[in-house]
Amino acid sequence: ERLQRALASRGIERLYTHQAEAVGHALGGRNVVVITPTASGKTLCYNAPVLNSILQDPSSRALYLFPTKALAQDQLAELQGLCETIAGGSGDEIGVFTYDGDTPQDARRTIRARAHLVLSNPDMVHSGILPHHPRWAKLFENLRYVIVDELHAYRGVFGSHLCNVLRRLQRICRHYGSNPTFICSSA
């Protein structure tokens, strides 16, 4: 209900069919790939189940992967706005942070402790998160969703590197007792 109110205050009264179907699969714990044209609401296909999960269980975590820093920054602004709307209506604080190569060291500790949503990229997951997984235990123990946005961008060598990073991520999640649902999107 808190999420529905926040979405309604932003002009979203109902989900499109593809959004409702994707959200239903994600909430059911099934991996989802959403392929629709640009500006068709793919972002809500993953933001809705992630935020719903966090609102139901504040220990839930999600990892968002974007191929470029610019895409992560666009999504950060959108997510922070939606989370501020939720907090304004219900008082529920949802920590949304970007974790990339430009993140200062002191901010990295804060992110590990307070982030419900970590926005990053495959390189940072490979070099900054997975090798230091004990520091990220809170994330891995509670990782409910992994979002892979712009799936079509991960081709060739970049795609095979991402595949191996995701395999490592899944092994580490199993080590910490989690089994996240993957939600991928592509235009």
Q: Are 50 and 42 in contact (CB under 8 A)?
A: no
Asked whether residue 180 carries a pLDDT value surpassing 80, the answer given is: yes
User: 23-61, pLDDT tens digit by residue?
Assistant: 999 999 999 999 999 889 999 999 999 999 999 999 999
**What gap in Å lies between CA 73 and CA 70, rounded to an integer?**
5
Q: Pick the closest to residue 121 from 161, 175, 172 (CA basis).
A: 161
Residue 57 has a CB neighbour count (10 Å cut-off) of 11
The values of phi and psi at residue 80, to 5°, are -65, -40
The predicted pLDDT at position 38 comes to 87
**What gap in Å lies between CA 76 and CA 79, rounded to an integer?**
5
Contacts within 8 Å (CB) and 24+ apart, 133-137 = 133/172, 133/175, 133/176, 136/112, 137/176
The predicted pLDDT at position 93 comes to 92
